[in-house]
Each structure stands twice: as structure tokens, then as C-alpha cells.
């Protein structure tokens, strides 16, 4: 998204322009000095700087990924502070140096020509490398703040491309830009952005336990501000202003902005009053009759031309690989652990902290479930389902300070828990608190009550629809059809929730020999086809009467239907999965054009389901529901924009951009809901 990309676009443009100006001046100076043969040395230094910057980005990414959640917060917060320091220094340096940048670079490159190839490579490497390292660090921190990399990387890429085009134009003398004014304006904007990065970094340090005050909020507007709105996304993406901020965040943000902006603006005024003095380029002795600097006599050493460029690119990449390999080691194998109903955990000794690869060997005669648990809380660190007798499978888990034990649950028998072992060091391994069928009993009861109330309403509304058709009031029937169908859709009828009743009440004609005219095509969609294709009331009376009877039959049967508690968390994902597959493709539309109305009802059903699951989800994933709530608000807003009084925009009439936004919002919501089944999976304990 552009709100996440803007800050990275600006840094990519500025840093790219700085580096591009350096390269442009170096190249122009060499060309004018008649030393085109030295251009490969400049490009070698540029390649080395790019390789170093990309390697630095890889080190940041992969070393942070190997840390615990708390350590990642502390690591990210610390680097955010470093990034702010770099950006601040860069802003003031460019404000001071933009006026004399070209003269200084010409002086340095002229000196380098006289001193040899190595110095020229080093000059271009140092000139570009500094900007590259700053860019890598700033991109890493902004991507972390945005919780995604696509937006920041897209913005940075666009900024770098634009910078390259501008530098090419300047080199060709097509463009003339007031660099002092450019760096002044962008510098002021970057000071504001850096203040937001500082606030984000301080919050990370609080969450990582490095700084206090993590729960002392100046304000918390998360309950009243729509986190999914465009203005909220813009403020968070560009300025890192969030609905809830601590006192330390606000103090750091405001203090940095007040001090640095005051110094920056004051420095700009001072530069305007007292113009900088241009440095004079010192002359370099040249050979008589030649425009190029003098070279020492003697033949140049012979070596392959490709050797130096390959070396300067390969060496940073190799060093980065070594750093990542040391910081993110492969799981340590070595423990083979027995699994059976009588000898669970034999061979298990206290492992070292870090990622471990346990070889689980089923020595019993039954298929078993295997869990690595904290015996004090039953929290699960890793699991294997369906480990057959005589087989061995890997179980990879991250171990930190704490107590660990194995729990083996045979298919037919009693669970056995091994002796616990203690691992020293700081806590930090991620575990999932298990859910039992008893835990799901209350949410299931609440959801069944919601469905039973909805079914009572459905019976009333389908009877009214049948009465409309029987009386020949087809215009009224169309309105009442939509009301009744939305009632049914809001009950979460996904993946066979209502068994055979769902096909009779809301089945599609797909696969039926006669299509929409097949005798087995019944229910809401059959009535929809007739009402919106001009069928007379006489032909729809029987179908409408059957729908009312099936609705009443479902209401009577539902209290006695078997509903597995473990299926309840799946509904959070499946309802909208059906919506994306059928309603948002227009597959279920039989002429009414009300697919988005059905999608709206499906969203209401999902919201109700999440409400009953909230007591179980909140302690297991505190950040999940706020994210999902923002996704729901975004999708609801898009659906509301297609609702005009009693009419809904048909899916087929949405313009391409609106359809893409709708699909994207639904897909994002589905992605954020995907952890729910794993978080609330019923794991065997006996």
C-alpha cells in the first residue's frame, strides 16, 4: 500500500539521488579527463557497495528471525534508534554539503586518478556504500514497522528508479535541479518520518522489556478509531502514529521533532544568510599534450578483468552467509525419543537452548499423538499427529529456558507423560495453550443459541415469502426473498453445517442434469431464478412451500444434530472462504444481483462466531482480534459502498478496481483468520 511505501519511496529517492550524483560526477570527471578506461573501476566500486548493502539487509532480516519474540522486539527497537541517528546525520550533512558536493567529488576523483586503480575503486565504494547501508537499515526498520515488506520495498524501488532517471538526466544536462532546495524540503519531511520511527523503536524496546512504561498510555483510541480506514492507515504507514501510544513514545516523538526540526530550520536560514564557500579543485599534474593525469612508468600487472568485480561482490555475500549461518543455525539433531503407551520419552535429556530436531520413534503397537509440553501449564511447543508403530519422524521445536516433557497419546489407551527436564537460560520459546472440548463447550452453546434464534426467524420469513408467491405478489416476494436469504446466510451454513438441509434450502444447480430446470434444484436459488426470470407465481408455489417446510424441518432437527466442538474454530475461516469462492465470483447469482448482500450476511455470521470465540482467542493471541477487527471494518466499508437503499450493486457490474479491493480485503481477512483453527485445535490429553 502507498501509505506504507511513502517513507521508503522518499528514502530511496534521497539516498539514490545522493549515490547517483556521486556516480554521475565520478563518471563525468573521468570522461572529461579522457580516462574512459578507468570507468570499470568506478562500476566495480559501485557493485561492491550494492553487494555490501544487500548483504547487510540479509543479515538484519535473518538474524532477527532467529531470535525469540521478546528479543526481536528489543533488536528491532535498537536498530530503529540507530536508523534515526543515521537519517538525522544524513539530513544535516546533505543540507550542509549539497551546495559544494560536485566540487568536492571532482577533487577526490582527480586525486584518485593520480594514485591508482585501487583508490578509485575505494572512492566510489565508500561514496555509494554509505548511502546503501543507510538505505538497507532504514528499509528494514520501516518494513518492520509496517509488518510487511511489499509496500516498503515497492516504494524504495520506485524511489531508486526515479533517482536513477534524474541522475541520468543531470548527467546528460537535460535536467537542472536546485539540489540545495531539494534536500531542504525532503530533509524536513524525513525529520518528521524519523520522529515516527523513533516512537516505534521506543515502543519495541518497551515490548522487549528494555525500557519501562509499556502499559502507561497517554491515549488509547483503538476502541473508537477504525484501524482499517484510509486515514488511519496513512497516519500509521507514514508517520507511525498509532491509536494507542505510551508516554515514552509521545515524549520521544515530540521531543525529537521539536529539537531536530528547530535545528534544521535554523540551519537552513543560516545557510541562506551566509553562503558556503566553494572549494577550489587542486590541479593535478598531467603529461604534456595529454588531458589525462600522469601515470607511473612500467607495464601494468596482468590479471583477469573479471577477478576484481567478482571478488568485491562475492566477499560481502560470503561474509553475510557466514553471519546468518552462525546466528541462525540448523536444528541440532541427536536425540532419539521413544514413543509408546508405556515408555513415553525414553532417551530424552535436557537439550541446549535453540532449535532442536527430535527424532520421535514409535516403539509401541498403536498409532499415537506426540506433544512436547510444559507440564506445569500443558502448553504445547511441538506436536506430531498420527505417528504409526515402528516409524520415526522429525519434530522440530525451539527450546528456551523452562521445563519440558513429552506426552504420548495412543489411539486406544491412556495418555502417558514423561519425566520433566529443566532447560536453563531465559524464557522465550513460543507455546500454544491447549484447548479442550470443555473449553469449547460455552462458545459452542452460545453459537448454537444464536443459530436457533436465527432459524426461528428464518421459518417466519420463508412462510411469508411462500405466502407472497401464493397470493401472486411477486414484487413483494422479491423483497422478502432477499430478507429471508440473508437470514439464512448469516447463520454460517458452510461446508455442510446443516447436513442435507443445506442442499435443499440453498443448493446450487451445479452438476444437476437439468441445470436450473432440474427437479432437484430447490430452495432459495431456485426461487431466485424464477422471480428474476419472469416465471409466473403458479410455477413457484410448490418450490416456495417446500422451502418453508425445509426451514421448519431444519429448525426442528438442529438441536439434535451432532456438532463436533472442534469444528467451531473452522467456521471462522470457512464461512468467508465460501463467500470468496461463490458470492464474490457471482457463481451463486441466479438473476437478483444480490451476491454482495449475501456476502454482507456471511460477514455478520463470522463476526458473531468470533464474538463467542473471543474469550479463548484473546489470551492465546492478543494481537489477532484487533487485526481481524480492522480487516472486518475495511471489508464492511467496501460492502456498504455497494448498498444503495434497497438495491445492491451486482458483482458483475463492479468496476475492476472496486472488485480488486473487495477481493483483496476478503483475502486479507481470510489470511488473518487462518491461525484460529490451529490456536483452538482440540489436542488429545487422554
Separation of alpha carbons 48 and 44, rounded Å: 6
- Whether residue 628 has pLDDT greater than 80: yes
Separation of alpha carbons 428 and 400, rounded Å: 6
- Structure-derived torsion over alpha carbons of residues 51, 52, 56, 62, reported in degrees to the nearest 10: 40
Point out which residues pair with 417 in neighbouring strands.
407
- Whether residue 574 has pLDDT greater than 50: yes
- Whether residue 228 has pLDDT greater than 60: no
Looking at residue 432, the DSSP 8-state letter turns out to be: B
The phi, psi pair for 380, rounded to 5°, reads -100, 125
Average pLDDT for residues 329-341, to the nearest whole number? 72
Separation of alpha carbons 389 and 662, rounded Å: 48
- By CB atoms closer than 10 A (0-12, 13-18, 19+), residue 73 is buried
Structure-block grid coordinates of residue 51: 553487494
Instruction: State how far the alpha carbon of 657 is from the alpha carbons of 4, 653, 663, in Å.
Output: 19, 11, 10
Three-state DSSP class for 387?
strand
Kind plus residue range of the DSSP H or E element containing 622: none
> How confident is the model at residue 65, as a pLDDT?
45
What confidence tier does 343 reach under pLDDT thresholds 50, 70, 90? confident
Where is mean pLDDT largest: 548-552, 625-629, 653-657? 548-552
Instruction: State how far the alpha carbon of 684 is from the alpha carbons of 407, 434, 441, in Å.
Output: 10, 9, 16
CB 27 within 8 A of CB 173: no
- Whether residue 635 has pLDDT greater than 60: yes
Separation of alpha carbons 612 and 625, rounded Å: 12
Separation of alpha carbons 193 and 200, rounded Å: 11
- Whether residue 461 has pLDDT greater than 80: yes
Separation of alpha carbons 631 and 218, rounded Å: 25
Structure-block grid coordinates of residue 677: 483453527
3-state secondary structure 204-262: HHHHCCCCCCCCCEEEECCCCCCCCCHHHHHHHHHHCCCCEEEHHHHHHHHHHHHHHHH
What confidence tier does 280 reach under pLDDT thresholds 50, 70, 90? very low
pLDDT over 90, % of the chain: 26
What confidence tier does 651 reach under pLDDT thresholds 50, 70, 90? very high
How many other β-carbons are positioned within 10 Å of the β-carbon of residue 650? Answer: 16
Average pLDDT for residues 582-587, to the nearest whole number? 89
Separation of alpha carbons 583 and 381, rounded Å: 39
pLDDT, tens only, 142-178 = 665 555 556 667 777 787 788 778 777 766 655 555 6
- Whether residue 380 has pLDDT greater than 60: yes
Query: Does 26 or 218 have the greater pLDDT score?
Result: 218
> How confident is the model at residue 2, as a pLDDT?
46
Closest CA to 48 of 304, 305, 317: 317
- Whether residue 401 has pLDDT greater than 60: yes
Separation of alpha carbons 1 and 290, rounded Å: 55
Structure-block grid coordinates of residue 215: 502499559
- By CB atoms closer than 10 A (0-12, 13-18, 19+), residue 291 is exposed
- Whether residue 485 has pLDDT greater than 90: yes
- Whether residue 118 has pLDDT greater than 50: yes
3-state secondary structure 635-665: HHHHHHCCEECCEECCHHHCCHHHHHHHHHH
Closest CA to 564 of 675, 448, 414: 448
DSSP codes joined into one string, 256-284: HHHHHHHHHHHHHHHHHHSPPPPPPPPP-
CB 680 within 8 A of CB 615: no
Separation of alpha carbons 458 and 452, rounded Å: 10
R_g of the chain computed on alpha carbons:
33
CB 624 within 8 A of CB 682: no
> How confident is the model at residue 498, as a pLDDT?
81
- Residue holding cell 531536530? 260
The secondary structure of the chain in percent helix, strand, coil, rounded to multiples of 5, reads 65, 10, 25
Closest CA to 490 of 524, 460, 454: 454
What confidence tier does 455 reach under pLDDT thresholds 50, 70, 90? very high
Separation of alpha carbons 47 and 523, rounded Å: 67
Q: 207 Cβ partners below 8 Å, 6+ apart?
A: 70, 73, 77, 214
Closest CA to 360 of 331, 384, 381: 384
- Residue holding cell 511441538? 382
What confidence tier does 594 reach under pLDDT thresholds 50, 70, 90? very high
Three-state DSSP class for 64?
helix
CB 453 within 8 A of CB 416: no
Amino acid at each position: 500500500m502507498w501509505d506504507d511505501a511513502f517513507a521508503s519511496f522518499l528514502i530511496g529517492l534521497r539516498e539514490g539521488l545522493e549515490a547517483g550524483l556521486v556516480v554521475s560526477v565520478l563518471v563525468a570527471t573521468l570522461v572529461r579527463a579522457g580516462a574512459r578506461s578507468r570507468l570499470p573501476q568506478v562500476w566495480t566500486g559501485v557493485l561492491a557497495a550494492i553487494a555490501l548493502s544487500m548483504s547487510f539487509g540479509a543479515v538484519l532480516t535473518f538474524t532477527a528471525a532467529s531470535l525469540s519474540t521478546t528479543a526481536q522486539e528489543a533488536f528491532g527497537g535498537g536498530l530503529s534508534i540507530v536508523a534515526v541517528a543515521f537519517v538525522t546525520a544524513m539530513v544535516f550533512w546533505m543540507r550542509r554539503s549539497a551546495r559544494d558536493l560536485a566540487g568536492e567529488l571532482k577533487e577526490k576523483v582527480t586525486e584518485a586518478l593520480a594514485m591508482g586503480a585501487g583508490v578509485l575503486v575505494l572512492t566510489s565504494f565508500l561514496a555509494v556504500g554509505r548511502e546503501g547501508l543507510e538505505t538497507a537499515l532504514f528499509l528494514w526498520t520501516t518494513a518492520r514497522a509496517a509488518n510487511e515488506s511489499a509496500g516498503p520495498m515497492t516504494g524504495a524501488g520506485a524511489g531508486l528508479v526515479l533517482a536513477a532517471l534524474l541522475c541520468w538526466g543531470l548527467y546528460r544536462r537535460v535536467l537542472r535541479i536546485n539540489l540545495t532546495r531539494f534536500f531542504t524540503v525532503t530533509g524536513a519531511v524525513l525529520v518528521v518520518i524519523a520522529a515516527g520511527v523513533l516512537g516505534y523503536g521506543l515502543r519495541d524496546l518497551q515490548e522487549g522489556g528494555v525500557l519501562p512504561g509499556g502499559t502507561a498510555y497517554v491515549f488509547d483510541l483503538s476502541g473508537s478509531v477504525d484501524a482499517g480506514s484510509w486515514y488511519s492507515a496513512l497516519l500509521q504507514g507514514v508517520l507511525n502514529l498509532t491509536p494507542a501510544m505510551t508516554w515514552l513514545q509521545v515524549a520521544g516523538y515530540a521531543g525529537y521533532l521539536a529539537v531536530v526540526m528547530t535545528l534544521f530550520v535554523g540551519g537552513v536560514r543560516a545557510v541562506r544568510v551566509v553562503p558556503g564557500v566553494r572549494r577550489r579543485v587542486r590541479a593535478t599534474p598531467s603529461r604534456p599534450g595529454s588531458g589525462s593525469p600522469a601515470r607511473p612508468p612500467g607495464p601494468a600487472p596482468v590479471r583477469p578483468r573479471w577477478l576484481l568485480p567478482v571478488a568485491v561482490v562475492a566477499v560481502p555475500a560470503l561474509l553475510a552467509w557466514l553471519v546468518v549461518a552462525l546466528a541462525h543455525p540448523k536444528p541440532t539433531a541427536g536425540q532419539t525419543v521413544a514413543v509408546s503407551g508405556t515408555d513415553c520419552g525414553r532417551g530424552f535429556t535436557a537439550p541446549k537452548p535453540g532449535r532442536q530436531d527430535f527424532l520421535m520413534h514409535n516403539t509401541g503397537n498403536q498409532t499415537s499423538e506426540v506433544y512436547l509440553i510444559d507440564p506445569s501449564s500443558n502448553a504445547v511447543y511441538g506436536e506430531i499427529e498420527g505417528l504409526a508403530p515402528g516409524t520415526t519422524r522429525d519434530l522440530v521445536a525451539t527450546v528456551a529456558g523452562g521445563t519440558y516433557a513429552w506426552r504420548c497419546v495412543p489411539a486406544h489407551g491412556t495418555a502417558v507423560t514423561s519425566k520433566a527436564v529443566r532447560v536453563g537460560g531465559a524464557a522465550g520459546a513460543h507455546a500454544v495453550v491447549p484447548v479442550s472440548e470443555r473449553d469449547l463447550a460455552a462458545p459452542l452453546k452460545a453459537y448454537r443459541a444464536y443459530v436457533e434464534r436465527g432459524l426461528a426467524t428464518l421459518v417466519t420469513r420463508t412462510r411469508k415469502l411462500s405466502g407472497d408467491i401464493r397470493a401472486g405478489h411477486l414484487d413483494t416476494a422479491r423483497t422478502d426473498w432477499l430478507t429471508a436469504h440473508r437470514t439464512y446466510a448469516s447463520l454460517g451454513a458452510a461446508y455442510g453445517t446443516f447436513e442435507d438441509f443445506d442442499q435443499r434450502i440453498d443448493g446450487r444447480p451445479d452438476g444437476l442434469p437439468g441445470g436450473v430446470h432440474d427437479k432437484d434444484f430447490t430452495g432459495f436459488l431456485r426461487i431466485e431464478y424464477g422471480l428474476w426470470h419472469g416465471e409466473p407465481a403458479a410455477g413457484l408455489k410448490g418450490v416456495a412451500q417446500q422451502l418453508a417446510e425445509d426451514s421448519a424441518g431444519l429448525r426442528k432437527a438442529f438441536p439434535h444434530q451432532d456438532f463436533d466442538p472442534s469444528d467451531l474454530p473452522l467456521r471462522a475461516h470457512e464461512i468467508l472462504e465460501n463467500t470468496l469462492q461463490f458470492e464474490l465470483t457471482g457463481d451463486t447469482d441466479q438473476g437478483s444481483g444480490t451476491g454482495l448482500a449475501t456476502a454482507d450476511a456471511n460477514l455478520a455470521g463470522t463476526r458473531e462466531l468470533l464474538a463467542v470465540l473471543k474469550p479463548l482467542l484473546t489470551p492465546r493471541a492478543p494481537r489477532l482480534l484487533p487485526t481481524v477487527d480492522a480487516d472486518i471494518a475495511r471489508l464492511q466499508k467496501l460492502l456498504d459502498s455497494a448498498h444503495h437503499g434497497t438495491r445492491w450493486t451486482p458483482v458483475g457490474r463492479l468496476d475492476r478496481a472496486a472488485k480488486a479491493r473487495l477481493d483483496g480485503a476478503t483475502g486479507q481477512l481470510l489470511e488473518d483468520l487462518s491461525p484460529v483453527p490451529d490456536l483452538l485445535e482440540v489436542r488429545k490429553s487422554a
